[in-house]
Chains A and B, each alone.
Chain A
Amino acid sequence: MSNGIYLDHAATSPMLPEVIDAITNAMQENYGNASSMHQFGRRARQALDQAREIFAASIQATFNEIVLTSGGTEGDNYAILETAFSRQAVGRHLITTEVEHHAVLHTMEHLETLGFEVTYLPVDENGAISINDLKAALREDTILVSIMYGNNEVGTLMPIHEIGAIVQATNAYFHTDAVQAYGYEEIDVKRDHIDLLSVTAHKINGPKGIGFLYINENIHLPNMMYGGEQEMKRRPGTEAIPNVIGFATAVEYMKQTNQAKNRDYPALFDALLQELNQAQVDYSLNGQNVPHLPHILNIWIKGVPVEQMLMNLDLAGVAASSGSACTAGNLEPSHVLTAMYGKDNPRIHESLRFSIGFGTTEADMKQAGQAIAAIVTRLKK
C-alpha cells in the first residue's frame, strides 16, 4: 500500500485481499461465458447463481429479484427512469429529497425536462426529512418515491421503515439508493416494503464496475437496454464473472463485519476529535444528532475554506473529501449541506467529510487529527 492515510472510504474503498484473490482466481479459472452450453459456461453460470443467492440473502430478497448492474448510478437510473416511463398511465409525479446523490437528482431533473413533475422534500439541520412532508407530498398520481437509505455526505439515515409503510399504501413504488448504507445497516426489503433498491460493490471493499438493483417480484419494470437473455433480459450483456465473484466475496465479508463496524467506528472518530479538542480547533459536527451511518463524519472546521483544507491535508498525506463538485475549479458548494443549513451559512463552504473503513487504525485517526490541527494553526497565523 502506498503512503498516506485514506479517510475517503465513502468515495470508494480498497478491495479486500480475499476479494483480490477471488477475482484473480476467477480471471484465471473461470473465464467462460455464463450463457454458453459447454462446461466453461456452466462453471461461470454456477458462480453467477451462487453470487446471486448471496446478494439476495444480504437484503432479505429472493433470487429472481436481483439484477446485476454496473453500479449505483446505473441502478438508480434504471429504477427511476423505467418506473417513470412505464407508469405514465398511473401518473407523472415523483417524490425525492434535496439531499440525494446526483445519480438520483440529475435523473429526476432529466425527467422534469420530459414533462414529469418532481417534488424535492426538504431536510432539517440533521439532514433528515419529515414524515409529514412526505405524507403531504403524496398524491394519486405519484408513481415513485425515491429516498436514500443513508446520506453519503453526512451519514444521516432516513426513516426507511416508516417511509416504506406509508408508500406501500399508495400507488407509488418505493426506491431507495442504499449505496452507502449497504454494509452497515441490516437491510430487509420485505420488512421495510422496499420495491427497488440499488447498491454497488466498490463501497464495501469489492471491485468497481458492478452493483445490483433489487426489483420486487410484484412489480414489473421494463428493461433499459436490449440484447441478450442475461438477467432475464432485464440487463443484457455478458456478465463480468470475476467482478461478480469479487462482489459476492465482499458481501460475505460485509455480513461478518457489519456489527463490529457499528461498534468500533465511533471510537475511531473520537480519536480524531480528541486531537482537535486538544489543539482547541473550533469545529462543529454536521448531521450527527440523529441515527447515522458509522463510517461517515462531516465536520465544519470554522474559518477554513474546505478546498484549502483538503489540499493541505493531501499535501500532508491525509485523504478526505467534501461534497462539493469541484471540476476545473467550478465551485458548487455541497447541495446536501446547502439543503441542511441554507446557502448563506459559512459552514457549507468550510465542511469536510472523513469516511473510514477496512484498514483504518486509531493511529491513522490521531495523525489525521494532528494534521488538521497543524493546518488550522498555520492558516490562522
Chain B
Amino acid sequence: MTDNSKIRVVVGMSGGVDSSVTAHLLKEQGYDVVGIFMKNWDDTDEFGVCTATEDYNDVIRVANQVGIPYYSVNFEKEYWDKVFEYFLKEYKLGRTPNPDVMCNKEIKFKAFLDYAMSLGADYVATGHYAQVTRDENGVTHMLRGVDQNKDQTYFLNQLSQEQLSKTMFPLGGMEKSEVRRIAEEAGLATAKKKDSTGVCFIGERDFKQFLMNYLPAKPGKMLTIDGEEKGTHDGLMYYTIGQRQGLGIGGGGASNDPWFVVGKDLAKNVLYVGQGFHHEWLYATHLDATDLHFTTNAELPKEFKCTAKFRYRQQDVGVTVKLGEDGTTATVIFDEPVRAITPGQAVVFYAGMECLGGGTIDRAYQEEKLLQYV
C-alpha cells in the first residue's frame, strides 16, 4: 500500500453516516485525516436546543472511534451571505432556487476548502456520491457516483477545476447499502442514523411556515389558462412548476383529472393551474441558462451535443447546447419535450459518466413561445 501518512485530508463531517464512513475509509487508507463540522445555520429553539449540537456530538463520537482529531468551524455568516440571501432573492423573483448547489459552490468547496487549506490540508473530502479521476494531463474529471440512485453530481455541477483538483469523494464508487454495511461493521455510532432530508437549514420543518418568517406572502388569484378563476393562492413563492399538492382544488371538469401548477405571473400575482399531469403548458422544448460553469477548463465548441438533467434524480435527456457569446449563457435544446422545466433550478450536462458542468435555468420555451413560469 502506498504511504499516505504525509497527505492531510480534511473531511467535512456532518454527523451523518456518509461522512462518517468517508472519514473511516480515508483513515484506513492511511491518510492524515482531520474531521471538521461546519456550522452553517443557527436553529437554536426556545429551549436552547440546536440540532447542530446533536450532530456535532455524533461527529465527536465517530471521530474518536475512527481515531482522528475533530473541530467545528462556524460558517454562518458565509452561508447567510452567499446561500441564504440568494435563496430569498430567487423566491422573491418567483423562481425555485437550489440552495444545495449554492452551498457546495460557496461553502463546502470554497469557505470550507479554504479553511482546510489553512490547516495544511492537501485535499478535502466529503461523503458525496460522485467520483473524481485525474487523467494523464493532470486534469480532474468529475464522474457520476456508481450508485445511480444516489448520484449527487447534479448538486456539484458548479465546481471548478481548481476546486475539484483538491477534492476526494471516497464514496463515489459505492452503493449506499455498502456504505451502511461498512458503518455497521466498523461499529460507527452513526451507522443506523436516518439520512437527513430537505434543505439543511429548514430540516423537517414546514417549508411554508419557514418561508413566511422571511418573505411576506401575497395571496392572489388562481386561474386556468383560459382565465377561469379556481380560487386563491397563498403566495406565488409557495408553488413550483408542475406541483400537484396544496392547491386545494380537486378534479371536476370534463376529464376529472387532478390539478397542477402550470404557470406563474409574478407581475400580476397570478398562479396558473391546469388539469392533468401532462398538461400542455408543462412541456418545454428548450431553455435559456445563465451562470454556466464547466468542471474542466477544456475549450468547448460553440455548439455540442450531450445529455442533461433538469432536476435531481431525473433521467438524462439528450440535448444540444448552444453557448452564448461570453460562454456564461446558453440555449439548451431538448431532443424531446421535457416536463416542468423550473426557472431557478440547475441544468446539468453529462457526457456518459462525466459531469461537464451546468448552469441555472432562466427561461423555458415551447417552440417559439416563452412559457409563463415567473
Contact = CB atoms under 8 A, between A and B. Distances in A.
A224 interface: no
Please classify the interface of chain A as helix (H, G, I), strand (E, B), loop, or mixed, using the class held by over half of its residues: helix
Given A311-B71, A314-B69, A328 B52 contact: yes
A211 to B, nearest CB: 27
B365 to A, nearest CB: 44
Given A307-B73, A329-B73, A331-B74, A312 B39 contact: no
Contact of A329 (B34, B57, B74, B119): B74
A328 B56 CA distance: 6
A304 B76 CA distance: 19
Nearest to B50: A328
A312 B56 contact: no
Contacts of A329: 37-39, 52, 56, 72-76
27 contacts: A307-B71, A307-B73, A308-B115, A314-B71, A315-B34, A315-B69, A315-B120, A326-B72, A327-B53, A328-B37, A328-B39, A328-B50, A328-B52, A328-B53, A328-B55, A328-B57, A328-B72, A329-B37, A329-B39, A329-B52, A329-B56, A329-B72, A329-B73, A329-B74, A329-B75, A329-B76, A330-B42
Interface in B99-157: 115, 118-120
Contacts of B74: 329-331
Interface in B306-343: none
Contact of A312 (B73, B75, B120): B120
A263 interface: no
A314 B119 CA distance: 10
Interface residues of A, number: 14
Interface string A288-307: 00000000000000000001
Interface-centre pick from A307, A312, A328 (highest chain B CB count, 10 A):
A328
A337 B113 CA distance: 30
A38 interface: no
Nearest to B52: A328
A57 interface: no
Interface in A325-380: 326-331, 378-379
A328 B52 CA distance: 6
Contacts of B34: 315
A379 to B, nearest CB: 6
Given A312-B118, A315-B120, A379-B118, A330 B69 contact: no
Nearest to A308: B118
Nearest to B44: A330
A226 B118 CA distance: 53
Given A308-B118, A330-B39, 15 more contacts: A308-B115, A312-B118, A315-B34, A315-B119, A327-B56, A328-B37, A328-B56, A328-B57, A329-B38, A329-B39, A329-B52, A329-B73, A329-B74, A329-B76, A330-B74
Contacts of A331: 74
A368 B372 CA distance: 65
A106 to B, nearest CB: 12
Nearest to A310: B71
A330 B119 CA distance: 19
A6 B288 CA distance: 59
A311 B38 contact: no
Contacts of B118: 308, 312, 379
Nearest to B73: A329
Interface string A310-323: 01101100000000
Nearest to B57: A328
Interface in B14-59: 34, 37-39, 42, 50, 52-53, 55-57
A15 to B, nearest CB: 22
Contacts of A307: 71, 73
A310 to B, nearest CB: 8
- 10 smallest CB-CB distances across A and B, nearest first, come from A329-B39, A328-B56, A329-B72, A329-B74, A328-B53, A331-B74, A328-B52, A311-B71, A328-B72, A308-B118
Contacts of A327: 53, 56, 72
Nearest to A307: B73
A329 B43 CA distance: 13
A307 B53 CA distance: 18
Contacts of A311: 71, 119
Interface-centre pick from A307, A311, A315, A329 (highest chain B CB count, 10 A):
A329
Contacts of A378: 120
B330 to A, nearest CB: 38
B73 to A, nearest CB: 6
B42 to A, nearest CB: 8
Interface string A168-211: 00000000000000000000000000000000000000000000
